[in-house]
Structure 1
Amino acid sequence: MISPEAPILVFDSGIGGLSVLAKILKVLPQAPIVYSADYAGLPYGEKSEIEVATRVCAFLGRLSERYRPRLVVIACNTASTIALAHARAVLGVPIVGTVPAIKPAAEQTQSGVIGLLGTKATIRQAYVDKLEAEHAGGKTLLRHASPDLVAAAEAKLRGETPDPAIFAAAIAGLASQPQGDRIDEIILGCTHFPLVQEELAMASKVAGLDENLGFVDGSDGIARRVFYLTEGQPWPDSPAAGIFVSTGPVEQIEPYRSALERYNLTQIMSL
């Protein structure tokens, strides 16, 4: 029997997973939420595979013991492409991962040229090669590592204005590659990146990319999967205050408080 109060545990290295949480709350507004951020390990994109896998499994294990979630969402492309199989092997609850949305981008492209923005760790993964081979045959996938977008998204959520040069550099990293000027779909391969999609769209226009350029991420698919896996389960009559848990000090999260409250994450604590 699953308790109505059993939460959905959403995990990311930082606040990027909020882009996924927003979609989950649209389909499951009553769901109790525990959002966990490994701020002590941010950024994951600069770490080795073994380091990421070890941190993710250890962190999720401690969180699962404390909160007894009904389901875990790894709302981080880097963590999912590296540690998803490891986490599923050690945790006794369903786990939904996040991977670059290559399939929908390949289905939507008209030019046959797709861009992928991600962290350094994500774009080099064999898992991404596999997705490309399975879903983007006959298409051209251009990849570019944009770690600065993570910091830009974090700054935006703190109420700061990120440097526009960061977005221009990310788009230029794709557009300057052979056939880059033909890109008509850009995959946001990090959950932080949808939080700065407007800024990326503006930089794309300045760069002269397709005026009908689309941005694709996996958040809608994740929300549908979470809804399917929890269908028929009991929920509270009204949503409880969500919990935000960080591996860093609580003081580090204070600048994000107003942004977190928009997602009903009003209880902030450290692990």
Structure 2
Amino acid sequence: MTPTSQQRPIGVFDSGIGGLSVLRALQAELPHERFVYLADSGHAPYGERGDAYVAARTHAITRYLQAVHGIKALVVACNTATAAAIHDVRTQCPDLPLVGLEPAIKPAVALSRTGRIGVIGTRGTLTSGKFALLLGSLQSQAEFVVQPCDGLAYAIERSTEHAVPDAAESSEVRELCTRYITAMGAFGTTAGHIDTLVLGCTHYVFAEEELRALIGPAVRLVDTGEPVARQTRRLLQATDLLADPGDEIPAACNRMQLITTGSLLPLQAAAQRWLQLPARCCSTATVPADGAGAMAHEANRALAQ
């Protein structure tokens, strides 16, 4: 039976497992919706690649999710991909409801009391024209300490390869967090200190424990998951695409399909750790860079171990 427009899934994608933090927020906000999440781990990390490469991957994944999974909306759960490609995707897919990410510095301005705000993100995000415009629009309202965190997203990605964190990989995440947070200066609630830290990469939510140990309990951490989930709900309502709240909530693997273009085991481990999803909800796929007509679905459902 062909699904109605309201029953079709919402597509969500990121360069890897970081977007699972956004998917978790979407799941909480929209319990009756179905989701297809694609981790482009076979082509990561995005944050240290050029805009042209990231834009090409974004277009290829958008075409794939439309052609193979019939998505009704797309959440680009990646700050780097949003900055590099979202305007072009909107132009090329005008009928596809689309939600992108940007570092949550607007909410941070409202929260900060010292007027000094830290922003951490990938170099690709923080050096983009889109971020420069956003930052410039708020420069008169606060002082921003912007810190690119080369390698951190990739280290977090590797740290989720096991259901129980590996000691060496966890140590690498801690060391990188320490290096970048230390470089930003003093954190705290007194005048002149950074009292609000914006997580400008979806991966960084999964290093919250390490970051909190460095900045202290009083500093606010701001990420984009919940605002993006609320915006997705508003957009679906405006386009009459919300799933019927009277429908039964689908079982886990009917509701959440997770796909990776890289190794399957890291996605399975991350899904189990962060979303409590069984391994059988995860599969692999090839998403070539050429046109939609050349794309064949190659997902292989993994058996639960």
What TM-score comes out, normalization by structure 2 length?
A: 0.80
Paired letter, 1:221: P
**Cα deviations across residues 217-247 of structure 1 (Å, max 9, x unaligned)?**
1111101111112235334522242211122
8 A contact 1:250–1:270 mirrored in 2 = no
Distance in structure 2 (CA, Å) of the matches to 1:195 and 1:219: 12
Match of 1:196 in 2: 207
1:151 equivalenced with 2:162 (yes/no): no
Indicate the larger mover: 90-99 or 159-168: 159-168
Identity of aligned residues (%): 29
Query: Displacement, 1:22?
Result: 1.1
8 A contact 1:103–1:136 mirrored in 2 = no
Paired letter, 2:144: L
**Cα deviations across residues 181-217 of structure 1 (Å, max 9, x unaligned)?**
6111111000001111121010223xxxxx5211111
Match of 2:28 in 1: 26
Distance in structure 2 (CA, Å) of the matches to 1:254 and 1:19: 15
Indicate the larger mover: 255-264 or 217-226: 255-264
Match of 1:223 in 2: 229
Paired letter, 1:216: V
Distance in structure 2 (CA, Å) of the matches to 1:136 and 1:262: 40
Q: Using a 3 Å threshold, how does the CA distance of structure 1 residues 185 and 260 change in structure 2: closer, same or farther?
A: closer
Matches within 5 A, 1:1-271: 2-91=4-93, 92-158=95-161, 159-160=164-165, 161=167, 162-163=170-171, 164-175=174-185, 182-205=193-216, 212-231=218-237, 233-235=242-244, 236-240=247-251, 241=253, 242-250=256-264, 253-256=267-270, 258-259=272-273, 262-263=276-277, 266-271=281-286
Q: Using a 3 Å threshold, how does the CA distance of structure 1 residues 181 and 263 change in structure 2: closer, same or farther?
A: farther
8 A contact 1:11–1:75 mirrored in 2 = yes
Q: Using a 3 Å threshold, how does the CA distance of structure 1 residues 251 and 224 change in structure 2: closer, same or farther?
A: closer
SS in 1 for 2:258: strand
Q: Using a 3 Å threshold, how does the CA distance of structure 1 residues 181 and 165 change in structure 2: closer, same or farther?
A: farther
8 A contact 1:168–1:204 mirrored in 2 = no
8 A contact 1:114–1:142 mirrored in 2 = yes
Distance in structure 1 (CA, Å) of the matches to 2:268 and 2:220: 34
Query: Displacement, 1:79?
Result: 0.6
SS in 2 for 1:137: coil
Distance in structure 1 (CA, Å) of the matches to 2:26 and 2:278: 13
**Cα deviations across residues 59-81 of structure 1 (Å, max 9, x unaligned)?**
21112111111110000001101
Paired letter, 1:270: A
Supply the RMSD in Å over aligned alpha carbons. Answer: 2.4
8 A contact 2:113–2:195 mirrored in 1 = yes
Distance in structure 2 (CA, Å) of the matches to 1:219 and 1:146: 20
Structure of greater Rg:
2
Distance in structure 1 (CA, Å) of the matches to 2:103 and 2:68: 30
Distance in structure 2 (CA, Å) of the matches to 1:262 and 1:102: 30
SS in 2 for 1:72: strand
SS in 1 for 2:7: coil
Gaps of 5+ in 1: 206-210
Q: Using a 3 Å threshold, how does the CA distance of structure 1 residues 69 and 183 change in structure 2: closer, same or farther?
A: same
Distance in structure 1 (CA, Å) of the matches to 2:42 and 2:68: 19
Match of 2:299 in 1: none
Q: Using a 3 Å threshold, how does the CA distance of structure 1 residues 132 and 218 change in structure 2: closer, same or farther?
A: same
Distance in structure 2 (CA, Å) of the matches to 1:107 and 1:37: 32
Paired letter, 1:76: C
Distance in structure 2 (CA, Å) of the matches to 1:224 and 1:121: 26
Aligned residue pairs total: 265
Indicate the larger mover: 241-250 or 112-121: 241-250
SS in 1 for 2:218: coil
8 A contact 1:150–1:192 mirrored in 2 = yes
